[in-house]
Structure 1
């Protein structure tokens, strides 16, 4: 049985022990450290700000120095399976507001933030259509968005926790085609699954299912270790020339950087560089 088989076995067990999960994480770390020493590369700004998409906030174009991939890296599938194990064992957070922060890598750029309450009320700061420093009510009360349609907290909490059932739910979900990509319209679940692990207050068991479903994506590549996690690359399900890029921390089951952002209408904006992503439950709405 290889490392991937053992990680998959952990996922299939109803309650793997803490020791088994720790051993799985240690195998991942050992494989990431093995082989020749990697050259450390940083993130750097390589251009000016631009709009990620019509109606989205400005973001900076920058280049990520790709770490050397010398053959000793783990696979993208293993990274996401380990994130699935972590997600399933992470306590569910709670709070009054779901707080999302995106930040480009331009020096001094202000973050884009939103606070969404369970009744659908929403506040933002740093958005293109509002003052840069003030927290203001969103123009219209709405809940969160997924696949071109509104989705409630309750609906997210009721999503399937089996990867195949979750994909089937996504395929059957109806949305506004004007706010959906070509792949979403034809039933490809990739972008919706990425949204579930990136921006939305997805319950831990559902997040685990989304990570497992994404682990089976053909063409998924682990580029290498970077600050904060593993740099993963997905083929664009819409057939574009640019791949989808994420940095995933498998020990925290979090996406820490991404080149895609969910807009208020449920559509997904793609950027030429990364946004940092920070999500949390909070009881505090800044004033």
Structure 2
């Protein structure tokens, strides 16, 4: 068994309890259309993003750990807790070997747990059209054509082609993010300072980027100071990132075996919106040929 296999075994997820499984079947904690650009709001049931007086800023320093183009992972001793860095590097290795998905639409589904309300969904087609469902101002259950037909990254529009051409080396990806200039009104304070934490999180959560780009983003996040592993939870390993501006601590639940962020309290929408929830948000993304319904 190599180092990566040892670490993957260490991170194996426990079977959820009956209570946890029942709770996970509860549905949405709230709704938000999320068109308030880069303003942070607290997400609550049946409400849109509430504009807050300040924008979350996270001070970061990133880097990559690679050896000959392969993610370097140091296994922990048996029975010890894996560090956040190791979890992110396992996720990076998993992403690098994941086949690239394909389909007509990029589908995003968001669910707030413990509330019996429908999930918010969006479908973005390669033809530049987007549909959404269960946004607050839309008829319940109706699929509605969305006027915004592009993605947002660091305050600037991004097409499928832009995202697919992103650097696959973590250092080059960080440099690309630093050089990218969007509108200040559409960026968080940390993005205005060219700090990459929000763009990197967006790349591993909701944006349709190639597997190797996601791998590079995980590697860059692995070098963040102050990222801690809170332990195994339903859906993977919970990582926490402190917010020096005093807002709610960022939480990411990552399944390192599938390289997916399964839940988070920080919602970085593919349209550039930003919001935080008091509870965890379930996020599912996939390519599909099924028409929006």
Q: Which moved more, 1:261-270 or 1:242-251?
A: 261-270
Match of 2:98 in 1: 90
Look up the SS of the partner of 2:291 in the other structure: coil
**CA deviation profile, 1:97-134 (whole Å, cap 9, x unmatched):** 00000000133121000000113210000111212201
User: CA separation in 2, counterparts of 1:267 and 1:171?
Assistant: 19
Q: Is the Cα–Cα contact under 8 Å of residues 32 and 136 in structure 2 kept in the other structure? A: no
What RMSD, in angstroms, separates the aligned Cα atoms of the two structures?
A: 2.9
Q: Is the Cα–Cα contact under 8 Å of residues 229 and 237 in structure 2 kept in the other structure? A: yes
Q: Is the Cα–Cα contact under 8 Å of residues 43 and 278 in structure 2 kept in the other structure? A: no
Match of 1:129 among 116, 137, 140: 137
**How big is the shift at 1:28?**
3.6
**CA deviation profile, 1:52-84 (whole Å, cap 9, x unmatched):** 9775895459xxxxxxxxx93210000000000
Q: Is the Cα–Cα contact under 8 Å of residues 147 and 179 in structure 1 kept in the other structure? A: yes
- Count of paired positions: 250
Match of 1:271 in 2: 277
Alignment of 1:142 onto 2:122: no
Alignment of 1:29 onto 2:9: yes
The TM-score with structure 1 as length reference comes to 0.79
The TM-score with structure 2 as length reference comes to 0.77
Structure 2 runs not aligned, ≥5 long? 47-78
**CA deviation profile, 1:150-207 (whole Å, cap 9, x unmatched):** 1111011110111111011111111121121100101110010000000011100000
Match of 2:260 in 1: 254
Alignment of 1:233 onto 2:240: yes
Q: Which moved more, 1:262-271 or 1:92-101?
A: 262-271
Look up the SS of the partner of 2:237 in the other structure: strand
Mark the CA change 1:161 to 1:49 in structure 2 (over 3 Å): closer, same or farther: closer
Q: Is the Cα–Cα contact under 8 Å of residues 57 and 128 in structure 1 kept in the other structure? A: no
User: CA separation in 1, counterparts of 2:83 and 2:150?
Assistant: 36
Mark the CA change 1:57 to 1:101 in structure 2 (over 3 Å): closer, same or farther: farther
Structure 1 runs not aligned, ≥5 long? 1-18, 34-38, 62-70
**How big is the shift at 1:50?**
7.8
Mark the CA change 1:120 to 1:28 in structure 2 (over 3 Å): closer, same or farther: same
Q: Is the Cα–Cα contact under 8 Å of residues 171 and 189 in structure 1 kept in the other structure? A: yes
**How big is the shift at 1:26?**
3.2
User: CA separation in 2, counterparts of 1:111 and 1:49?
Assistant: 9
Alignment of 1:102 onto 2:131: no
Match of 1:111 in 2: 119
Q: Is the Cα–Cα contact under 8 Å of residues 107 and 121 in structure 2 kept in the other structure? A: yes
Structure in which a larger fraction of residues adopt helix: 1
Mark the CA change 1:262 to 1:241 in structure 2 (over 3 Å): closer, same or farther: closer
User: CA separation in 2, counterparts of 1:119 and 1:219?
Assistant: 41
**How big is the shift at 1:49?**
5.0
Q: Is the Cα–Cα contact under 8 Å of residues 114 and 124 in structure 1 kept in the other structure? A: yes
